[in-house]
Each structure stands twice: as C-alpha cells, then as structure tokens.
Amino acid sequence: MQSSEPKPKTYRLPDSLVAKIEAEAEAKKQTATDVVRAALDEYVRNGPGRSNFERIMARVDQLEYEVIRTRAVMLRSLDPDEKITKEILDEASEDARAYLEQRRKEVI
C-alpha cells in the first residue's frame, strides 16, 4: 500500500536561488518547500518558459486586437461611398497594431 506522504528528495541549488526562494517564502508566510512545490507545479502544468500570466496576457492581447480592428473597420466604413474591402481590412489591422504598440509603450 502506497503512502500519500511525499518522499523526501534532495536537490542541489545555487545559493542565490535558495536565497530567492527563502525570501519569497518569508514574504508569502509559507515554507520554502511550499514555494518550490507551487513553482514546479506551475512549470509542469504550463510548460517551460510560459507562465499562466503570460498565457492570459497573450489571449488578452488577441482579444484587444480584434476589438480595436473591428472599431477601426467601423470607423473607416462610415463613408457610405466606400465598401469594406480587403484594403480597408488591411488598413484597419495596421491601425489596430499601431494602437496596441503605442499602448504597450505607455504601460512600460
């Protein structure tokens, strides 16, 4: 019969990383083990190099782009003599990209 208790493991970590883990644990009022366990769990769930926050922000960027592009199309189509064509859609896409780029610069 297997025990539900985790088996102790030993890993060698650089002192600088250990210091960061301990500082994070103290700030969160958790144990260093809890901090490491949470970080590893997120890594395993989300894959290397991509946090859940990055995933969400990528989706938000895509949704924001679509809204801005739609807005740009509507503004450009207010002229009754123009029809929504590929050219207008391309220009609206460029407007949306430029707008998002400007907003990102303002945030940073």
The residue segments making up the domain with residue 101 are 52-107
DSSP the chain: ---SSPPP------HHHHHHHHHHHHHHT--HHHHHHHHHHHHHHH-TT--HHHHHHHHHHHHHHHHHHHHHHHHHTTSTT----HHHHHHHHHHHHHHHHHHHHHH-
**Residue 55 CB partners (closer than 8 Å, separation 6+):** 46
Q: Quick one: pLDDT at residue 107?
A: 66
Q: What is the pTM of this model?
A: 0.42
- Of the chain, the percentage scoring pLDDT greater than 90 comes to 12
Q: Quick one: pLDDT at residue 84?
A: 61
Same domain, 19 and 57: no
Same domain, 42 and 56: no
Same domain, 75 and 38: no
| Greatest mean pLDDT range, 1-5, 12-16, 79-83 | 12-16
